[in-house]
Structure 1
Amino acid sequence: MTASTWLLRSSVAQVAIPVRNVSVDIGDNVTVPCTNGTQNLDETNRVITWIREGREDGQIKRLRVESNGVLKLINVSRFDTGFYYCTVDNDGVARDRIYVKIRTPPPALHNVWVKPSTILANIIWEVAGTGGYPIIDFTAEYRLKPVHGEEPEAWKPIIPTHIPPNARTVDVYHLEPNTTYIFRVWATNQLGRGEIVEVEGHTHYSVEELELERHFLAGVENFDTRVWVAAVGVVMGTLVFLGLGTCYLLYRECKAPSQLEEQEVIELVPNIILNPGFFDERTERVPHDEICNNQTTTRLNNNTIVQPRRL
């Protein structure tokens, strides 16, 4: 019957044997047999020992050596990546050499920094690794840096939301000058989102705002407040004068139509008396009489009928 053991920390004699690569996704289980150099050994009294190079603390809980000498890694993590050796009968000679690689989401991006301007910023990064699968895209977001005691606002996406995998920079637009922002960026592969990196940046002062501020504050040390009060009084007096003038003009405009109508009535009466044939749009026409000529009979405003002269 085959016996198997596991050594926590040990060294093993290096021999010229090829390295077998075994890849597994994070969280999965993997079995690794000891095959090279053990095919012709008697399986009856064979003792197989597994040695891990650079073991992490706590790993022993997730490692198991089966009765047939197969090494089994359970629920692997990124720390299980490394070289594993197997020996036979404790001879100290490596019979098989395996490199176990754990595929993970992308690790944190490297050298992430922000180059802010007045109303935009440029986020720059480097890729430290892919996690074992090609990077699908990058994602970046930003938000205002919360003031002490305030609830932070929601993260805002940076366009494009899916940054191409060959990109190493992205621009952020529509920022406020002289404002502190927090930016974060991460990579994604088929296993999911990688580690997030956050950086902080402060946008610059606006050139126009600085010039305007210098203009307004020029001579502020020698400014007399009495001049300011006098200027305010002049402005307010002008506004009151314009308001009164506007009210007077509106009043005259409202009274003007009635006076004009009375003047037209006064002028109309003498014209009717002196000229019986005078016609105005306010007079009423009387139907033709059978015994009269073709001249028009007119009724005046006082209901007096003016007959035309007979031929």
Structure 2
Amino acid sequence: MFAKTLNFSFLLVLSWGDVFSKASHHHSVSGPASVVEGDLGSRLTLQCNVSHQRQQRVVWLKDGQGLGPELSWTVYEYRGDLVSSGLLLSDAGNYSCFLDTPHPRSTARLLVRTPPGQLSNLTVHPSSVVATVRWRVSSDGGYPISHFTLAYQAAQPSSAQGLSAAAATHHHHHSPVHISPAAFFVYHLEPGTPYMFRMWASNRLGPGEATTVYASTSKPLDPAEVVQKMFAGGDDFSTAAWMVAVSMVMGTILILSCLSCLLIYKEGRHEELQDEVDEEEESSAVPHIVANPGFEVDLEESFLLDRPDCNDNNERAVRTNNNSVVRPSHV
């Protein structure tokens, strides 16, 4: 809750034992209403700023009325003090003090700081295994928020209302100690399970009031259930809707068929090119062997010359395997 403002008439304020002002011994009235702040549960002493004699009675009013029993104040009428051993939220208000007559009087305003109020607009959006938690801060209680705390656990809807705060915090996840953004993701949830989420903010005075939300994760759909739901709502579809659905399915099948043919063609071409490359590699790896190199003349072949040479040989020279020349001689 937001810190509440109060106006009260006194000049001396003690918070944690500190004196903020003292009453004078003259009939004087303070200026504009002062502002005093106190923490919830702390000790606070207020002293009227109107000077008076000890036999004069000091009257205190809250919001223009007398102090009720629901307040934490102890009034010392002749001393002019208003003492609280532990401030309550109900002590917030507009205070004034005066003597037996309404004038002169002194006024002041008191701010009571508290833990943060409940988070507003806390929502949980679950899927099958993940949930998104969002919230807003309605009041920081007068101090900056130090961190948020999120607690969640699986719970049956029938027994969720009876879960205690201790059981809810048995399995809890803390957000970072610094101020977090207004959204948090919860992972690793069980599909089709009801959960209880509790979240609160904290400041230097402690945790605020928790806000509780119940939500259930969704179940994953089987293909059979999907088909069943499609046909269950078939009566709601018009002819045009069915035509559009069939056209989309046929177009998808046609596109997939063309892509499949293209992939098969490319695969075949790739295999042919690979075979050609393999053949070239094999042929280059086998050494080229020429039988009987350098010998082009048959050993058994001889040629007759048109006319005998100087030795009257009428046959051409024949090479043997060792490439030596054997010339026939005329005997």
Q: What is the CA-CA distance between 1:57 and the residue it aligns to?
A: 5.8
Output aligned runs, 1:99-118, within 5 Å: 99-118=109-128
For the pair shown, the structure with the greater C-alpha radius of gyration is 2
Would you say the 8 A contact 1:66–1:72 is kept in 2?
Answer: no
Cα deviation code 1:75-110 (max 9, x no counterpart): 21112112111122222x472212222222212112
Equivalent position to 1:73, from 60, 66, 84: 84
Q: What is the CA-CA distance between 1:66 and the residue it aligns to?
A: 4.7
Cα deviation code 1:209-264 (max 9, x no counterpart): 24343469999xxxxxxxxxxxxxxxxxxxxxxxxxxxxxxxxxxxxxxxxxxxxx
Equivalent position to 2:192, from 153, 162, 178: 178
Equivalent position to 1:53, from 63, 78, 97: 63
The residue type paired with residue 179 of structure 1 is T
Q: What is the CA-CA distance between 1:147 and the residue it aligns to?
A: 5.7
Verify: 1:200 aligned to 2:210, yes or no: no
Equivalent position to 1:127, from 93, 118, 137: 137
Distance 1:66 1:205, change over 3 A: same
Equivalent position to 2:95, from 72, 75, 84: 84
Q: Which consecutive residues of structure 1, in runs of 5 or more, have no partner in the other structure?
A: 1-14, 220-311
The residue type paired with residue 32 of structure 1 is L
Verify: 1:33 aligned to 2:43, yes or no: no
The residue type paired with residue 115 of structure 1 is H
Q: What is the CA-CA distance between 1:172 and the residue it aligns to?
A: 0.8
Which deviates more from structure 2 when the two are superposed, residues 133-142 or residues 95-104? 95-104
Q: What is the CA-CA distance between 1:120 and the residue it aligns to?
A: 1.0
1:213 paired residue number: 225
Between the two proteins, what is the percent identity of the paired residues?
Answer: 30
Would you say the 8 A contact 1:106–1:195 is kept in 2?
Answer: yes
Would you say the 8 A contact 1:49–1:90 is kept in 2?
Answer: no
Equivalent position to 1:157, from 172, 181, 186: 172
2:329 paired residue number: none
Q: Alignment RMSD, CA only?
A: 3.2
Output aligned runs, 1:281-296, within 5 Å: none
1:137 paired residue number: 147
Q: Secondary structure at the match of 1:139?
A: strand
Distance 1:210 1:195, change over 3 A: same
Would you say the 8 A contact 1:177–1:204 is kept in 2?
Answer: yes
Distance 1:148 1:176, change over 3 A: same
TM-score by length of 2: 0.52
CA distance in 1, matches of 2:79, 2:198: 49
Would you say the 8 A contact 1:184–1:199 is kept in 2?
Answer: yes
Would you say the 8 A contact 1:107–1:130 is kept in 2?
Answer: yes
Q: What is the CA-CA distance between 1:60 and the residue it aligns to?
A: 4.7
Output aligned runs, 1:293-308, within 5 Å: none
Would you say the 8 A contact 1:112–1:124 is kept in 2?
Answer: yes
Would you say the 8 A contact 1:48–1:90 is kept in 2?
Answer: no
CA distance in 2, matches of 1:136, 1:33: 34
How many residues align? The count is 197
CA distance in 1, matches of 2:121, 2:68: 29
CA distance in 1, matches of 2:143, 2:98: 32
